[in-house]
Amino acid sequence: MRISELSQLTKVSARSIRHYEEKGLIQAERTENDYRKFHESAIERVKAIQLYLKLGLTADEIGSLFRSEIASPDDYEYCEEMLNIYEQKLNSVDDQMKSLLDLKEMLERQISRTKAKKISS
């Protein structure tokens, strides 16, 4: 199938699909006129890429998963390597949330101080 068909079937832009190919996450054959030709399996592969991007994985992390012995995203659920990646991502999200909460508290204090100064002026 051509890139436009893959894009339409997966709801992923052709630009993103080209990027995935450039990163080695999917492969395409080239036709005589140099058009990309994707195998039907690329549909599930693109969907898996989208899932992992939503989970916060980088293209490199996704690439290493695809280079491992794991066959499909359903297999990742019980894979030790995936468990480690999920835990690392969760820790990263927790750290980001803590930083944001700290920032929120700081901003709330500054707003309160500023309002108090405004009222006393």
Tokens read off for 96: 């980001």
What is the pLDDT averaged over residues 46-52?
Answer: 92
Its pTM stands at: 0.66
Whether residue 10 is predicted with pLDDT greater than 70 in this model: the reply is yes
Question: What is the four-CA torsion angle of 112, 114, 115, 116, rounded to 10 degrees?
Answer: 80
Res. 45 pLDDT band, cuts 50 70 90: very high
Q: How far is CA 54 from CA 7, 81, 100, 121, in A?
A: 18, 18, 20, 49
Res. 73 pLDDT band, cuts 50 70 90: low
Res. 71 pLDDT band, cuts 50 70 90: very low
What is the pLDDT averaged over residues 7-12?
Answer: 96
